[in-house]
Structure 1
Amino acid sequence: MPKAEEYQKKAIQLNQETVTGNEEISPGVFLISYKRRHDFIPGQVVKIALDNTQPPRIYSICSGDHEEEIRVLFNIKEEGYLTPKLAAMIPGDQLLVSEPYGSFLGTNKPAWWIATGTGIAPFYSMFRSGQFENKTLIHGARHLNQFYFEDELDWSLDKNYVRCCSQEQSCDVFPGRVTDYLKTVKNFPDDQHYYLCGKALMVVEVRDLLIERGIPYENIIAEIYF
């Protein structure tokens, strides 16, 4: 779930939508869907609530811009109000959802996508929207079952798709965190954009690493999840 000051200040109307699907794609991680009624740019977000008693939370769209449904990827926060209830929803249940908005926008230009955990969501939206040419995707997770959509991404991106796992090992996965992998990269193109999406600590560490390696600050675009 992304958090940015501009999102928190933005007053947006919520409309009632009907859940069309809710799939647990990994333990405690769900992909919930509803019918798409508005166009959006890959990378944008929506606000979601169940009622008017609690403030809505912000989630990146996790579907292509041409698809009939909007999907949202989330993991259960046991101490949270919203995600345990979202996980229990079935088709036919009602959500309150905003129209898509936000400025973390994908393009067809060459770029690096760097994500941890469910921060893969906006990049998967960009991927599903056909924006994967000349992209390098680095995805970090603690466990091997947390590389969501990996078969599809691996098939299309091949060597430009790098998985980094900090707590388990596999022959085709880098052993360590995203920052550990990035430290092994010899050259970062300084004429491309670097999109960062994940926990605040990762975003700050990767941003600082890129700047130290000569990437202009304005070429680094971040979306912080919490």
Structure 2
Amino acid sequence: MLSATSTEVVRATLPVVGGAIGEITPNFYRRMFAAHPELLRDTFNRGNQAQGDQQRALAGAIAAYATLLVDPDAPPPAALMSRIANKHASLGILPEQYAIVHEHLFAAIVEVLGDAVTPEVAAAWDEVYWHMADALIAAEKGLYAGAGVEAGDVWRELVVTERQLVSTDTVAFTLATSDGVALPTFLPGQYVSVQVELPDGAHQIRQYSLSAAPGAGAWRIGVRRIAPFAADGTPQPAGEVSNHLYDNVFEGDRVRVSLPFGDLTLDDSSDPLVLVSAGIGVTPILGMLDHLAAARAERRVEVIHADRTPARHAHRAELSALVERIPGATLHTWYEELGTREPQGRVRAGRVDLEAVEVPADATAYLCGPLPFMLGVRDALVARAVPAERIHYEVFGPDTWIPSAS
């Protein structure tokens, strides 16, 4: 916990710092990348930096963490810390890198807030930062230890043993060791980081869910190619790493992959499940269903998937086959466009409507897909009496949705 003095100072200055955090974080990143350009080139997602997504996510995390520390009625920040720590572990972040962040973040705070940053204010927010940093360092230490590696030693060179087209714009890569030694098992719902060298020499990293059951000896990820224009013709950021993998990586190629991490993992209770995905968000759901099918689970499982068209639905036939292997599972799919096909049974046109699904109030829900989609589904589940604390989600990219702090 914060000291009593710092708690009062942070509580009093939180509106000022929180109001300026959107200006502080871009300043911070500019400073840090000027001093350490290798971080932008080889660690941070430069696409998210260009769009401002990472800045917004950091601002939200800092403000949320400070609020949780000074609000006696707030829940502990464990969920927020777990998600960040798993992402950091998948990147191989080291404890000494927190000092770099501290140096440039506080320089940005002083520049933006000026004389408002008195020695007392600086000391209090310094305590907030190191409280958060120490919690993350400890969590990451535990994750590295759990993986059986030294801090940061998460990267392995693997071989693509199979490349399979699983929709009009998505490929699945099966990854294995070059010597045939089985890869470590993982928990259903976890992901790996993949680092590629791009034509300009940058080594960019992205996360991809593992979409096969634990214990298979190999790993599988799904990669969707992202076009420069959306379906309605509006420009959208192309997927720098995903497009590189889609266009350039084939059987026999080697890729640099991290060990598995991620805290969106399937619980082992007997409670009903609601598994909701959209687009390429189906991949962690496939891993969960594969695990349930292999374990011959008898849980009730409502599987809900949304996509633009059947042709773009990655792993469409596999998803149906997995659901059929689980006695208590039911699949519901929605497509924005069905083409010449007619809605039939639980295959519907339009957007997901949970009114068409019988959702048990005691269900545990797992969501993966675009952020606006997940926010809408979460609200609909809460309206159906599913407790918010039983709704879990995965965001690939900056996490600007922090329900634990709301």
TM-score (norm 1): 0.88
- Residue matched to 2:214: 65
Rounded Cα–Cα distance in structure 1 between residues aligned with 2:280 and 2:239: 16
- Asked if residue 153 in structure 1 is aligned to residue 326 in structure 2, the reply is no
Which protein has greater RCO, CA pairs closer than 8 Å, 6+ apart?
A: 1
Q: How far is 1:190 from its partner?
A: 2.1
CA separation in 2, counterparts of 1:166 and 1:133? 32
CA contact (8 A) 2:166 2:314 kept: no
Deviates more, 1:47-56 or 1:193-202: 47-56
CA drift at 1:188:
2.8
Q: How does 1:39-118 map to 2 (within 5 A)?
A: 39-51=185-197, 53-78=202-227, 79-87=238-246, 88-108=248-268, 109=270, 110-118=272-280
C-alpha distance in 2 between matches for 1:210 and 1:20:
40
Cα distance, 1:225–1:143 mapped onto 2, change above 3 Å: farther
Higher strand share: 1
Identify unmatched segments of 5+ residues in structure 2: 1-56, 58-82, 93-153, 177-181, 228-237, 398-406
- Whether the 8 Å CA contact 1:153–1:161 is kept in 2: the answer is no
RMSD: 2.3
- Point out the structure with the larger helix share: 2
Distance 2:249 2:204 in 1: 19
Structure 1, unaligned runs of 5 or more: none
Question: What SS is found at the alignment partner of 1:115?
Answer: strand
CA contact (8 A) 2:191 2:210 kept: yes
Shift of 1:66: 2.1
Q: Which structure 2 residues correspond to residues 75-224 of structure 1 after superposition, within 5 A?
A: 75-78=224-227, 79-87=238-246, 88-108=248-268, 109=270, 110-130=272-292, 133-134=298-299, 135-145=301-311, 146=313, 148=315, 149-157=318-326, 160-168=330-338, 169-172=342-345, 173-178=347-352, 180=353, 182-185=354-357, 187-224=358-395
Give yes or no for contact 2:86–2:262 (8 Å, CA) kept in 1.
yes
Normalising by structure 2, report the TM-score.
0.51
Residue 349 of structure 2 aligns with an amino acid whose one-letter code is P
Match of 1:20 in 2: 161
Task: Say how many residue pairs are matched.
Answer: 221
Contact kept, 8 Å, 1:203 with 1:224, in 2: the verdict is no
Q: Deviations over 1:149-173 (max 9, x none)?
A: 2441353358611111121144241
Separation in structure 2 between the aligned mates of residue 200 and residue 191 of structure 1, nearest angstrom:
24
For residue 66 of structure 1, what is the amino acid of its counterpart? G
